[in-house]
């Protein structure tokens, strides 16, 4: 007769199977979620051995009066409007193709005149977004996003655009991954914590992929995170119950295998003879000691 398996007795095996089913379901679900997520396009890398394109500033007369490290004023308006019209006349794909990826924040800061009117490509995070009425825009509104990139952090770019993507958030404290292709105009002066600073001002188009957001503008938790929480709780509960059941099974199995001596009415002949002999010795008379001779 074979011994029963002490590890799987009663409901331990079904519980283990349920545990494995939950684990497999969770792995399959998250693999499906991760594979369906939109993967951002890989930015082309500018390499040192690529033939460099010369950076040619715009020599149009309207750019001659532009001054750097000052607020946007009347002297900048002619070039400002020219760039707005240039962006409107250029398709998004064409503008993205023109954007220079080798013109960085340091180039614009050190020699802004050399990059005046040059199209620049930015990939960064918008942390501020506002809009205001403007007669210079065909829509009557202009949008302004403050963007930091890897090469500029913590210093921002000021990006001006007319057509925001649908659902693009507005606010003084946002965090949105954006792409911006636009023409560099000037270093614009602004006040930050009572300190006068300057930031590159570009006019162009912004690209943004909307994520799941709440109606109030804040981010809400993605549905798969709630599903992960439910699956995790089920997994922990099932694992705890299975471990507890396994411990009970091992404890009961060890008790059942411990040899025990049970009383019986049958006495072996040898034991009976020994018992009779011991009893007879107990009833033998004890001899008195002899008196010493005189």
R_g of the chain computed on alpha carbons: 43
Tell me what pLDDT residue 136 has: 92
> Cα(204)–Cα(84) distance, rounded to whole angstroms?
7
Residues 142 and 170: beta-carbon distance below 8 Å: no
Residues 141 and 90: beta-carbon distance below 8 Å: no
The β-bridge relationship of strands 157-161 and 141-149 is antiparallel
Instruction: Give the bridge partners for 190, in sequence order.
Output: 197
Looking at the structure, give the CATH architecture of the domain made up of residues 69-208: Beta Barrel (2.40)
Q: What is the pTM of this model?
A: 0.62
Tell me what pLDDT residue 106 has: 97
Asked whether the predicted pLDDT for residue 22 surpasses 90, the reply is no
**pLDDT greater at residue 19 or residue 288:** 19
For the chain, give the number of residues. 294
| Residue bearing tokens 């990059």 | 115
Tell me what pLDDT residue 48 has: 80
Residues 125 and 150: beta-carbon distance below 8 Å: no
* Token digits of residue 155: 């210093």
Residues 62 and 78: beta-carbon distance below 8 Å: yes
Tell me what pLDDT residue 269 has: 74
Segment 188-192 mean pLDDT: 94
pLDDT, averaged across the chain: 81
Asked whether the predicted pLDDT for residue 6 surpasses 90, the reply is no
**pLDDT greater at residue 82 or residue 240:** 82
Tell me what pLDDT residue 23 has: 72
> Cα(210)–Cα(187) distance, rounded to whole angstroms?
30
Q: Would you call 72 exposed, middle or buried from its count of C-beta atoms within 10 A (0-12, 13-18, 19+)?
A: middle
Q: Before 154, cis peptide (omega within 30)? A: yes
> Cα(183)–Cα(173) distance, rounded to whole angstroms?
25
* Token digits of residue 167: 């659902």
pLDDT digits (tens, 9 = 90+) for 56-95: 999 999 999 999 999 999 999 999 999 999 999 999 999 9
Segment 99-111 mean pLDDT: 96
Segment 189-196 mean pLDDT: 90
Tell me what pLDDT residue 120 has: 98
* Token digits of residue 255: 């008790």
> Cα(65)–Cα(85) distance, rounded to whole angstroms?
18
> Cα(234)–Cα(223) distance, rounded to whole angstroms?
17
Asked whether the predicted pLDDT for residue 7 surpasses 60, the reply is no
Tell me what pLDDT residue 232 has: 75
> Cα(126)–Cα(173) distance, rounded to whole angstroms?
9
Asked whether the predicted pLDDT for residue 37 surpasses 60, the reply is no
Residue 166: how many CB atoms within 10 A of its CB?
7
What residues does each domain of the chain span?
A: 69-208
| Residue bearing tokens 């004890």 | 286
Residues 155 and 164: beta-carbon distance below 8 Å: no
Segment 133-148 mean pLDDT: 95
pLDDT digits (tens, 9 = 90+) for 269-292: 777 677 777 767 666 665 555 555
């Amino acid at each position: 007769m074979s011994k029963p398996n002490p590890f799987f007795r009663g409901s331990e095996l079904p519980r283990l199977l349920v545990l494995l089913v939950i684990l497999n379901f969770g792995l399959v679900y998250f693999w499906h979620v991760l594979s369906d997520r939109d993967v951002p396009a890989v930015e082309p890398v500018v390499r040192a051995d690529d033939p460099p394109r010369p950076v040619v500033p715009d020599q149009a007369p309207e750019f001659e009066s532009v001054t750097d490290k000052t607020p946007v004023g009347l002297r900048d308006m002619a070039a400002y409007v020219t760039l707005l019209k240039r962006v409107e006349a250029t398709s998004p794909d064409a503008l993205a193709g023109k954007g220079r990826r080798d013109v960085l924040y340091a180039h614009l800061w050190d020699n802004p005149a050399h990059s005046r009117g040059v199209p620049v490509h930015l990939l960064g995070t918008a942390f501020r977004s506002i809009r205001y009425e403007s007669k210079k825009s065909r829509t009557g509104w202009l949008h302004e996003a403050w963007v930091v990139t890897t090469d500029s952090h913590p210093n921002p770019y000021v990006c001006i655009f007319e057509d925001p993507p649908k659902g693009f958030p507005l606010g003084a404290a946002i965090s949105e991954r954006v792409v911006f292709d636009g023409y560099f105009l000037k270093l614009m002066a602004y006040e930050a914590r009572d300190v006068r600073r300057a930031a590159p001002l570009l006019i162009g188009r912004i690209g943004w992929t909307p994520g799941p957001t709440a109606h109030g503008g804040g981010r809400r938790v993605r549905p798969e995170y709630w599903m992960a929480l439910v699956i995790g709780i089920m997994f922990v509960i099932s694992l705890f119950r299975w471990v507890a059941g396994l411990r009970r099974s091992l404890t009961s199995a060890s008790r059942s295998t411990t040899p025990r001596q049970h009383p019986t009415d049958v006495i072996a002949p040898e034991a009976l003879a020994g018992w009779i002999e011991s009893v007879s010795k107990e009833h033998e008379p004890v001899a008195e000691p002899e008196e010493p001779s005189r």
